Amino acid sequence: MNHYQQLTFTCAADQASLLSEWLSEQDAILAVSLLDAEDQPIYEPTLDAITLWAKVEVEVLLSDDYRVEPLLIAITAQFGALPAYRLERLEERDWVTETQNQFPPQCFKERLWLYPAWETVPDDLSPVLRLSPGLAFGTGTHPTTRLCLTWLAEHIHGTETVIDFGCGSGILALAALTLGATHVSGIDLDPQALDASRSNAELNAIIDSQLPLFLPEAFKPNAQVDILIANILAQPIISLAAKFHSFVKPGGMIVLSGILTEQMTSVISAYHDYAALTCYGSEGDWCALAGVRYCSDTANNSR
């Protein structure tokens, strides 16, 4: 049986970012991963940054015969100091199968099937969304994504126009199109997420004109949409209330997730002048809100 070595560094976020980038460029290193070293959830990142944890573990997968000592010397020379580290020996495992087992097929409201790209889809299932899980958020396994997919399966009936703000892997945008929406604009601040969305669109034979993708600063809508869905986090959702309101037709729907149940009241309050939000559903610590955008900017003031 073959074995591997795993070298794990523990360091601050800024150092972890530089170290992981440098390690990824080195020959014979099999994989580099970033993990939370202290079980510290990131609930409120800034809108213009991709945030890491305060303390990060940088895991480096190496072949069993890789000489670790020269690598440690090179790291010290490159960065001026060697972060705390540990070295372990790992037995060979079927990493591909283990990863694939984390993404089983799922069904939402008996209207939408979600299948990972490697699974064979039975002929009698329709509609089916194929997804290739990657680095961008959105595989259908997180509670916030499941809540949004369930809402879409209930409310998309055909011809809707949609904005998916924080599109990640493209899962919600593609689900809407698969269910019958005619046009979805996908928006994300991470270019890697837009690449993932584009790749998953190709997997589902979705053309660019059906799903144009934008960085936030590049999005200039031509018309208001029927539905805006945003599975991000409470603080960005609150700060974007007026902008989200401007994107949606009067009488259209605003669907928000990525919200902790304890944050629900704050989000509803932030949208008080824009939409009548209520809790659509919850799972664990997370909830999704949905409501109708008021038909005029003054409608709520008369209540």
* Secondary structure (DSSP) of 245-293: HHHEEEEEEEEEEEEEGGGHHHHHHHTTTTEEEEEEEEETTEEEEEEEE
Examine the domain organization and report whether 231 and 82 are in the same domain: no
Q: How many helices (H) and strands (E) does the chain have?
A: 9, 14
Strands 112-116 and 55-63: unpaired
Examine the domain organization and report whether 41 and 130 are in the same domain: no
- What's the one-letter identity of residue 165? F
Examine the domain organization and report whether 122 and 53 are in the same domain: no
What CATH number should be reported for the domain holding residue 85? 3.30.70.120
Q: pLDDT value at position 139?
A: 76
Q: pLDDT value at position 109?
A: 95
Write down which residue in 93, 116, 134 finishes a domain: 93
Distance between CA atoms of 176 and 186, rounded to whole angstroms?
Answer: 11
Write down which residue in 93, 110, 145 finishes a domain: 93
Examine the domain organization and report whether 171 and 252 are in the same domain: yes
Q: pLDDT value at position 52?
A: 46
What CATH number should be reported for the domain holding residue 147? 3.40.50.150
- How many Cβ atoms are within 10 Å of 35's Cβ, its own excluded? 12
Examine the domain organization and report whether 108 and 69 are in the same domain: no
**Cα three-residue angle 102-106-107, rounded to 5 degrees:** 170
Q: pLDDT value at position 33?
A: 85
Nearest to 102 by CA among 129, 134, 60: 134
Distance between CA atoms of 289 and 303, rounded to whole angstroms?
Answer: 21
Q: pLDDT value at position 203?
A: 94
User: Can you read off the two tokens belonging to residue 206?
Assistant: 């979705």
Examine the domain organization and report whether 81 and 104 are in the same domain: no
Q: pLDDT value at position 43?
A: 41
Examine the domain organization and report whether 206 and 189 are in the same domain: yes
Write down which residue in 93, 120, 139 finishes a domain: 93
Examine the domain organization and report whether 87 and 110 are in the same domain: no
Give the structural domain span for 89. 3-93
Examine the domain organization and report whether 174 and 283 are in the same domain: yes
Examine the domain organization and report whether 105 and 54 are in the same domain: no
Distance between CA atoms of 132 and 96, rounded to whole angstroms?
Answer: 13
Examine the domain organization and report whether 30 and 147 are in the same domain: no
Q: pLDDT value at position 56?
A: 86
State how many domains the chain has.
2
Kindly list the averaged pLDDT for each block of 10 residues, start to end, along the chain of length 303.
85 87 87 67 43 74 92 94 92 66 88 91 91 72 93 96 96 97 96 92 96 97 97 95 97 97 97 97 96 75 42
Examine the domain organization and report whether 135 and 232 are in the same domain: yes
